[in-house]
Amino acid sequence: MQSIRTAIIGAGFMGPTHTEALRRLGIEVAGILGVDEAESTKAAQKLGLPRAYLSYTEVLKDKNVHAVHITTPNRLHFQMARDALKAGKHVLCEKPLAMNTRETAALVDLAKKSKLAACVNYNLRYYPLCMEAREMVQENRLGKVHSIVGSYVQDWLLYQTDYNWRILAEEGGSLRAIADIGTHWLDMVQYITGLRVVALCADLLTIFPIRKRPKGEVESFSGKVQKIQATEDITVNTEDGGAILLRFDNGAKGTLFVSQISAGRKNCLRWEISGSKSGAYWDSETPNEMWLGYRDKPNEKLIKDPGLLSEAVRPYVSYPGGHNEGYPDTFKQCFKAFYAYIAKGDYKAKPTFPTFLDGHRELALCEAIAKSNKKNSWVTVE
């Protein structure tokens, strides 16, 4: 695994996050590409990387590089992933995989033909207790799943002067909060339960039809600390959040609330799964504990301790109980699955990491959500 070299594309929030996780695995990062020479150079220096690439073509031509991590704004994912696969590089692409299902379908097809590893970074699956919940479902410890409810809420876009490229449909896609964070939740609950959303009814919300964009550079998530000097009005064509009713393929019902305007909620993904035998509840802001609910005996709190988790989950846990693991560890575990697969070289084997097909399914859900919101009615997921 350690003989595979990789390059990072994008130098904002995710570029350094990916770099750090790769280093913890001993994967060599050959270099980084930013939006221009200045950003590439600054990022390479800051991260201590040997090379600052000058263009994407240069990365794809680099024979030392076997894989690329695409951490640029969503608009660029399709073209970059496509070109990397065509150049014979393995691809780990940030979510959402692309802007629409036409693009994601083409990527699924290309990945299948290419005999290369292709992962979409639904890293949050790799919280150990979420993996434990999956084991519990598989071992029928919850019984038949009746309902899945939850939310993914943040507050970083609460004020009218909060701005990021994600606000613009042309940069991030026509759905913003849903594609950005809602798809993490949808991926996670479907991964845990093995169920699929087959129909849904969505009611989306945009609180500011006009936002006041600060003039000059705005880094992702920096709005809370950046001093705003002057602003310009921009028309908002994406949602701040919304409520979605869900129907799963076993008949289970669910609800999801997504928001980037919920004061005090920094990055809070919650789910509660109720089955015929027991229930489970988890919150990403306290990720090292999971509530287990029973009808006929006292409820329990399971903590992340390899000694208390299933054997199948232990390889995804790096620290003993009481030593908390969190968000950065999910990247490490996801990348470990991806690089172990490449190292093995059996591309007929079923990947354990989230694939481009998972990325495609998430876009299909996004399109169903947009359609339902527009029609004001239930729609089936295609």
For ligand NAD, the binding residues (CB under 6 A) are 9-15, 33-35, 39, 71-74, 76, 94-95, 121, 123, 165, 180, 219-220
Residue 53: CB atoms within 10 A of its CB come to: 25
Please name the residue that has the structure tokens 């869900």. Answer: 246
Least separation in angstroms between residue 190's CB and ligand NAD is 16
Q: Which is nearer to ligand NAD, 59 or 192 (CB)?
A: 59
The b-or-e profile of 112-140 (16+ CB within 10 A means b, else e) is: eebebbbbbbbbbbbbbbbbbbbebbeee
| Strand 67-70, strand 5-9: pairing | parallel
Q: Which is nearer to ligand NAD, 15 or 279 (CB)?
A: 15
Least separation in angstroms between residue 301's CB and ligand NAD is 26
| Strand 5-9, strand 145-153: pairing | unpaired
Least separation in angstroms between residue 197's CB and ligand NAD is 20
Cα separation, 134 vs 127, in Å, equals 11
DSSP character string of 49-104 = -SEE-S-HHHHHH-TT--EEEE-S-GGGHHHHHHHHHHTT-EEEEPSS-SSSHHHH
Least separation in angstroms between residue 221's CB and ligand NAD is 7
Residue 64: CB atoms within 10 A of its CB come to: 12
Q: Which is nearer to ligand NAD, 12 or 254 (CB)?
A: 12
Q: What are 33's strand-pairing partners? A: 9
Q: Which is nearer to ligand NAD, 93 or 302 (CB)?
A: 93
**Cβ contacts of residue 203 below 8 Å, gap of 6+?**
242, 243, 244, 373
Instruction: Give burial (CB, 10 Å; 0-12/13-18/19+) of 22.
Output: buried
Report the interhelical angle of 183-193 vs 128-138 (nearest 10°). 40
Residue least distant from ligand NAD (Cβ): 12
Q: Which is nearer to ligand NAD, 180 or 272 (CB)?
A: 180
Please name the residue that has the structure tokens 């076993």. Answer: 250
Residues 185, 177 contacting (CB under 8 angstroms): no
Q: Which is nearer to ligand NAD, 34 or 214 (CB)?
A: 34
Least separation in angstroms between residue 15's CB and ligand NAD is 6
Least separation in angstroms between residue 121's CB and ligand NAD is 5
Q: Which is nearer to ligand NAD, 120 or 136 (CB)?
A: 120
Least separation in angstroms between residue 330's CB and ligand NAD is 8
Q: Which is nearer to ligand NAD, 12 or 287 (CB)?
A: 12
Least separation in angstroms between residue 315's CB and ligand NAD is 21
Residue type, 93: C
